[in-house]
Amino acid sequence: MASFNTTKVYLNTRKRRTMNNKDQMMSIYRVPVPLVNEKFYFNQEAVQVIVYQKIALGSRTTLNVQEADMASVHLTNKRLIFLAQSTSIAPPRDQHRFDTCEFRLSEFRSLKTTLVRKKRLRFDIKTLHHGDDIRVDIKFINKEDAVKRRDALRDYLKMATNAIASSLTPNESLRLSTEDSGLPSYFEAIHSSTHTHAPSPALSPPAYH
């Protein structure tokens, strides 16, 4: 399931050029603290993220929506992480704005990716937690190569989930599928909308960061 505002982060600095391209100024950005033996595959700033999480509560279900207008996305061999990147280091006060959001790849039961218009990517995720159904909408912004970076994230995520699946026993591997079944997700069903599914990406992602 999605875990909000629990990811440990540290602050880093870098130099950025001003508008006149002569002077440089320091800026602060946030980076996830890596877990033991965690390797980073993909890091990208300037994305907008909306996370829709359907949570089963006994016989009822509730829909939790969290978003970040400016965030970074980080993919490792263990997690998919989104960090809000704002001019303030204080966490957002709006209850529907997340500070951090992460997914453990080992908890994925199925993953469906969809290209939604230019510069946008959608993940429909089912987890091992009964009743959980998650949709993540990502828009890549402020980048001339946004489409290439979007496609790279999609391919790297499939590579990471396939690596986890290959390490499981045959019975366990049944729990993780990255193939598109052609069936509508929970969110597609309740909104009665149709989407064009992207072709299955290559197993080897492009060498792009």
Answer yes or no: is 197 within a domain.
no
| pLDDT tens-digit series, residues 19-29 | 565 666 777 88
Answer yes or no: is 196 within a domain.
no
Local confidence band at 16 (pLDDT 50, 70, 90 cut-offs): low
Measured in degrees and rounded to the nearest 5, phi and psi for residue 9 equal -130, 160
Answer yes or no: is 81 within a domain.
yes
Extract the tokens encoding 132: 């959980």
Local confidence band at 144 (pLDDT 50, 70, 90 cut-offs): confident
Over residues 133-151, mean pLDDT? 88
* In the predicted structure, residue 51 carries a pLDDT above the cut 60: yes
Structural domain of 151 = 3-191
**CATH number of the domain within which 159 lies:** 2.30.29.30
Answer yes or no: is 18 within a domain.
yes
User: 10 in helix, strand or coil?
Assistant: strand
Taking Cα atoms as reference points, which of 34, 44, 13 lies closest to residue 147? Answer: 44
Answer yes or no: is 198 within a domain.
no
Query: Residues in the chain, how many?
Result: 209
* In the predicted structure, residue 191 carries a pLDDT above the cut 60: no
Taking Cα atoms as reference points, which of 95, 80, 74, 164 lies closest to residue 125? Answer: 80
Distance of CA 110 to CAs 72, 117, 189, Å?
24, 23, 17
| pLDDT tens-digit series, residues 71-120 | 999 999 999 999 998 755 555 566 788 999 999 999 988 899 998 878 89
Answer yes or no: is 116 within a domain.
yes
Long-range contacts from 122-130, C-beta under 8 angstroms, 24+ separation: 122/195, 123/157, 124/185, 124/187, 127/1, 128/175, 129/1, 130/56
Q: What sign has the CA pseudo-torsion 136, 139, 143, 145?
A: positive
Radius of gyration of the chain (CA): 18
44 vs 49, residue with greater confidence: 49
Answer yes or no: is 79 within a domain.
yes
User: 154 in helix, strand or coil?
Assistant: helix
Q: How many domains does the chain have?
A: 1
Extract the tokens encoding 208: 């792009």
Least confident segment among 49-53, 93-97, 106-110, 188-192: 188-192
Measured in degrees and rounded to the nearest 5, phi and psi for residue 55 equal -120, 130
Answer yes or no: is 9 within a domain.
yes
The whole-model pTM stands at: 0.75
Angle 5-101-129 from CA coordinates, rounded to 5°? 100
